[in-house]
Amino acid sequence: MSFAPFAGVDSVSLQQAQVVVMPVPYGATLCYGTGAARGPEAIVAASMQMEWFDEELLWDLSAVAIHTTEPLEVDLSGPEAMIRAIQHRAQQYGAHGGWLIALGGEHSITTGLVRARQSMSPEPFSLLQIDAHADLRDSYQGTPWSHACVMRRIFDLAIPCVRVGIRSLSHEEWQFVDQQRLHDSFFWAHQIVPASREGRYDWIDRVVEQLLPSVYITIDLDGLDPSVVPAVGTPEPGGLDYYTLLRLLRQVFRSRHVVGCDITELSPIAGQPASDFLAAKLVHKLMGYQYFGVVPVDLYERNGP
């Protein structure tokens, strides 16, 4: 399997790259919608039709040196082996200094990516999780490496996490949240979505206040409302809208050092490319926020989304 370079931008060498785009077409532990393994290919394909220019930051993709890697081959020996393979490959790419954006694939890939980041630098960092699901099960369908367990494995790594948009969890997960006193790290969808619709975004300041100076961002696309992104494996009603997500991301990039990120759980729907395009556009936005700064609040957010 081989993909075109992201957005059709001429791919520079790994050594020259400012941004490394890493497709991870893995979906072995999915339990409902099972199309996430096709997500990376769909994102890259949509990016080929996307304008390079960004109207918000007034920059062009050609201004960033991008290296799109070959898709990571799936390790068929089991989920734990696949997590190790992701970690190993992310370490290899990260050693060259490029800013890594991984394209999933199911959400379990984040464990390998975060392990890689943790092993490469002694600098502490926190994790911002944008998601519909808590993903805090200790084991699911016979494996602790399931997509439903990814944030439990992150917890095991002692990485502080702030969770935004959660609106689905099991009783077992709720008990874990209670036992570990994690309540303050949750920004539940039923609280922040109505506030955002009323024009109240003070919750974003509280999200950022909980983050360490360095942050890894993981975006499970089901964190967005299914009216915005229907092509996810387990859609949950009541999620974030696109511009609220961008407002949150702008604030994080404005005030924190983002060390890497991933976008997961796109399950493409044939003949309905809107979700694919949103994911591709989101990658574009993340690159812009990282390398071209974020426009001041009074120039954009006061008069814009």
CATH number at residue 90: 3.40.800.10
Q: Which residues of the chain carry a pLDDT beneath 70?
A: 1, 29-34, 294-305
Residue with tokens 């936005």: 285
Considering the domain boundaries, does residue 270 fall inside one?
yes
CB 185 within 8 A of CB 210: yes
Question: How far apart are alpha carbons 108 and 110 in whole angstroms?
Answer: 5
Nearest Cα residue to 109 out of 187, 33, 22: 22
Considering the domain boundaries, does residue 11 fall inside one?
no
Element (H, E) at 67: strand 66-68
What is residue 303's predicted lDDT score, i.e. its pLDDT?
Answer: 46
Rounded to the nearest 5°, which phi and psi values hold at 161? Answer: -130, 140
Beta strands in 147-225 (DSSP E): 161-164, 186-187, 214-220
Cα dihedral: 182, 136, 101, 84 (round 10): 130
Considering the domain boundaries, does residue 305 fall inside one?
no
What is residue 294's predicted lDDT score, i.e. its pLDDT?
Answer: 67
* Total number of domains in the chain: 1
Considering the domain boundaries, does residue 68 fall inside one?
yes
Eight-state DSSP code of residue 143: B
pTM score, two decimals?
0.94
Burial class (CB in 10 A: 0-12, 13-18, 19+), 252: buried
What is residue 238's predicted lDDT score, i.e. its pLDDT?
Answer: 98
What is residue 267's predicted lDDT score, i.e. its pLDDT?
Answer: 95
Strands 126-130 and 161-164: parallel
Considering the domain boundaries, does residue 7 fall inside one?
no
Considering the domain boundaries, does residue 158 fall inside one?
yes
Considering the domain boundaries, does residue 10 fall inside one?
no
Considering the domain boundaries, does residue 184 fall inside one?
yes
Residue numbers of the domain that contains 152: 19-300
